[in-house]
Amino acid sequence: MKLFTFITILFCVSSNLQAQIWEPHQVNFPIPTQGWRISPANDTVAWTFGFALDSAGDWIQREYSFSRTKDGGNTWVAGTFPGIQTDGLLCSIFADGPDNAWIAYYDYADGGKIFHTADGGQNWDQLNAPVEDVFVSAIYFWDQDHGIIWGDAIDSLFSIFTTSDGGLSWDQVGEGDIPPVIADDEYTIFGNYGINGDNIWFDTYYNRVFYSADRGHTWSVWDNPTATHYGLDLKADEDNFLYYIQIGETPEGDKTFELYRRHPDENTWTDLTPADNSKYISGFSHVPGTKTLVINLLDETRISYDHGDSWISVDLDLSYTRGYTSFVNDQIGYCCQIPNGYEQPSENVYKYIGTPLSGLLDPKPINISMTLSPNPASDHIQLHIEGEQAEDYWILVNDLNGKLMYKAEVTNKTAFTRTIDVNSFTSGMYTLSASNRHGLRMETFVKI
């Protein structure tokens, strides 16, 4: 039997750091709901769905609803899924526009089902997919014709089907093209996968990662990066690195969260786990068109420019909880809201605000004059910036571990001076980042 793990974490403290990276927009789910992954289709369209909650805040696995935006996340219109309101698991949604979307669903009475809408969710038609005996974990389409579904094994063979006609017919991947399961309970994990072009990955409850370079027609398998921890999510970037989030437990019973990276040309995993790995890694995304990674830690957002080797914190706010993350490019991104139980369900989708943060996500060099003085500094440091035209800026100060020490927003300035109090900083080296819509400038200073 499958096991599903859900983590509820309550926050009641507000951060005093101003200027936020995420902007709330009402998702309009019709009933108290746990928000879930967001599937962007293009610059303006994205879909998401939610799980209904009961009065105890538990997910009741029925009464699912979806919500869709057609204006880049500013407004969301909700709907329901006719025919799938009985007990079952809505595992995955994929959308390629305002009208077309597919879902993978497991009905506890009738088995696996694939549904498609061509009218924005007003009607959902069940496709003739051979999955009635399959727990279907996910669905993905490269275009309107070519797609893939996969799920748990039958007779030691994972159930993987590809289509070249939009789901009207499906071809099963044969036993010679995918490694077998290693035990009857090596289930696939619903909703978890990484995609980069024709490359696709999914993981299992034995924490093995299956990889295909040809849209799922042939597969190899990577072993679990740890001996005991289990997978939480996985994502890929445009350099074909896969990032695998795992969850573990200390001898004292505290949760730990680890991050690993691997490329198909490598034979081992690289451990990227942050030092403060007690924070729940609630969302992870590559920013298409850049080298940047974005990670959510419920109350914090961090970014990396070097494939996860180092991170800087760019946003910290304990007043709301941010979850699964999806970016379209350096201007458009979303994350879901994780609810604080039935009394505080998911009310919002959080939209990435953009300028001047776009320079943080696509850190191209910018043509500005920037000075820091004095350097070294003891009690304050003065930042002076001169640019060619009026711009909005974000100013961040991080320590060498990436911890966010200072954040400010400067609006519509060609030149400005800002005095930053560093008296409470411990002695050491710090990085100051100044971003606008064109890119990023970073300088270091020493606190003595």
- The tens digit of pLDDT for each residue in 6-45 reads 333 323 222 334 578 999 999 999 988 888 999 999 999 9
Q: Are residues 349 and 375 in the same domain?
A: no
Tell me the average pLDDT across 307-322.
93
What is the distance between the alpha carbons of residues 38 and 52, in angstroms, rounded to a whole number?
16
Confirm whether 171 is domain-assigned. yes
Q: Using alpha carbons only, what angle is made at residue 244 by residues 340 and 42, rounded to the nearest 5 degrees?
A: 70
Confirm whether 3 is domain-assigned. no
Prediction pTM value:
0.92
Q: Are residues 202 and 234 in the same domain?
A: yes
Q: Among the three residues 305, 320, 353, which one is the final residue of a domain in this structure?
A: 353
Q: Are residues 327 and 374 in the same domain?
A: no
Within 10 angstroms of residue 12's Cβ, the number of other Cβ atoms is 7
Q: Are residues 117 and 238 in the same domain?
A: yes
Q: Among the three residues 322, 353, 384, which one is the final residue of a domain in this structure?
A: 353
Residue 423 has which token pair? 């008296």
Structure-model confidence comparison of residues 60 and 47, the more confident one: 47
Residue 236 has which token pair? 């890929």
Q: Are residues 291 and 243 in the same domain?
A: yes
What is the distance between the alpha carbons of residues 40 and 45, in angstroms, rounded to a whole number?
6
Nearest to residue 345, comparing CAs of 316, 320, 325? Answer: 320
Instruction: Return mean pLDDT, the chain.
Output: 91
Total domains present in the chain:
2
What is the distance between the alpha carbons of residues 434 and 301, in angstroms, rounded to a whole number?
17
pLDDT band at 70 (very low <50, low <70, confident <90, very high): very high
Would you state the pLDDT for residue 9?
A: 31
Tell me the average pLDDT across 241-245.
97
Confirm whether 359 is domain-assigned. no
Choice among 64-78, 201-215, 235-249, 337-351 with the minimum mean pLDDT: 337-351
Q: Among the three residues 329, 353, 377, which one is the final residue of a domain in this structure?
A: 353
Decide: helix, strand or coil at residue 24.
strand
Amino acid occupying residue 390: A
Instruction: Please enumerate in sequence order all residues whose Cβ is within 8 A of that of 155, keeping only pairs 6 or more positions apart, or say none.
Output: none
Would you state the pLDDT for residue 16?
A: 38
Strand-pair partners of 382: 373, 419
Confirm whether 363 is domain-assigned. no
Q: Are residues 278 and 393 in the same domain?
A: no
Q: Are residues 302 and 427 in the same domain?
A: no
Cis omega (within 30 of 0) for bond into 179:
no
Confirm whether 384 is domain-assigned. yes
Q: Are residues 305 and 382 in the same domain?
A: no
Would you state the pLDDT for residue 3?
A: 41
What is the distance between the alpha carbons of residues 39 and 69, in angstroms, rounded to a whole number?
11
Give me the CATH number covering residue 435. 2.60.40.3880
Confirm whether 1 is domain-assigned. no
- Give the containing element (helix H, strand E) for 360: helix 358-361
Q: Report the share of the chain in percent with pLDDT over 90.
A: 79
Confirm whether 10 is domain-assigned. no
Give me the CATH number covering residue 215. 2.130.10.10
Strand-pair partners of 196: 199
Tell me the average pLDDT across 245-270.
92
Q: Are residues 382 and 233 in the same domain?
A: no
Residue 173 has which token pair? 């991947």
Q: Are residues 85 and 219 in the same domain?
A: yes
Tell me the average pLDDT across 257-273.
96
Distances (CA, A) of 221 to 132, 142, 284: 26, 22, 22
Within 10 angstroms of residue 288's Cβ, the number of other Cβ atoms is 16
Confirm whether 11 is domain-assigned. no
Q: Report the share of the chain in percent with pLDDT over 70.
A: 95
What is the distance between the alpha carbons of residues 440 and 442, in angstroms, rounded to a whole number?
7
pLDDT band at 85 (very low <50, low <70, confident <90, very high): low
Q: Are residues 261 and 125 in the same domain?
A: yes
Containing domain of residue 349, as a range?
22-353
Nearest to residue 233, comparing CAs of 221, 242, 223, 220? Answer: 242
Residue 412 has which token pair? 């519509």
Q: Are residues 304 and 404 in the same domain?
A: no
Would you state the pLDDT for residue 328?
A: 97
Q: Using alpha carbons only, what angle is made at residue 359 by residues 331 and 316, rounded to the nearest 5 degrees?
A: 85
Give the model confidence (pLDDT) of 332-388 as tens digits. 999 999 887 667 789 999 999 998 999 999 999 999 999 999 999 999 999 999 999
What is the distance between the alpha carbons of residues 348 and 322, in angstroms, rounded to a whole number?
10
Would you state the pLDDT for residue 342?
A: 63
